[in-house]
Amino acid sequence: MHFNLFALSALVLSAVLVCQAEAAKSTVHINNKDDYCLILPAKRQTVGASEDGTSNGAKAFCTRPTGNQGSIPASFFKSAHIKTTSSYKQITGCIDPSKAKTVIPSDGGGQYDSNGGDGGHGNPPGSACAGYKSYVQLLEPAANRACLRCCNNARDCDLSHDTSGCPTVIPNGNYNGCSN
């Protein structure tokens, strides 16, 4: 009986650790301009191709990765601007797409979010922002621009303008000097 209880405990612990690793694989966060995670294509492909409705097309890439997260240097943002309010936290600015191995610099980009995608389960499915209820992120490599907003209330994360770009989706960001 003790062996079965031990085996069951080990199985439950393994399942918890796998779930935590999978959750971290698609969790973004903003701590500061040198410590953040963004969703990027999991392999070298366009943002549009990575929006395949599975958790395999895109994943979190972080300046301080853990588990299944990919790695990006803090210098991915050439200029990063952080804004925090009681409703949301955001990072906006100019990027150097060549710093991320899976990003194609000429790609027009696209949107990742926690509440869109098939059935409203996010893109990638199950993705989230640590400490917040929802998020919206645009990655626009050809415009050298990216933006991420994590929100306490989904209405503060505009998902309805996914083809309009960062200045429309997160209008109070700073994108000065991003275009070539």
- Over its length of 180 residues, how does the chain's per-residue pLDDT go in tens digits? 555 544 433 333 333 333 333 456 899 999 999 999 999 999 999 999 998 766 679 999 999 998 889 999 989 999 999 999 999 999 999 999 999 999 999 999 999 999 887 788 888 999 999 999 999 999 999 999 999 999 999 999 988 877 889 999 999 999 999 975
Is this structure's pTM higher than 0.75?
Answer: yes
Phi-psi domain of 15 (left: phi exceeds 0; alpha: psi -120 through 50; beta: other) = alpha
Counting DSSP H helices and E strands in the chain, the numbers are 3, 10
101 found inside a domain: yes
156 found inside a domain: yes
DSSP summary character for residue 29: E
137 found inside a domain: yes
Sheet of 134-140, strand order: 77-84, 88-95, 145-151, 134-140, 110-113
177 found inside a domain: no
Domain membership of residue 144 as a residue range: 2-169
Domain count, the chain: 1
Q: What pairs with residue 71 in β-bridges?
A: 62
179 found inside a domain: no
The token pair that represents 83 in the structure block: 């804004």
125 found inside a domain: yes
Q: How many CB atoms lie within 10 A of CB 21?
A: 13
154 found inside a domain: yes
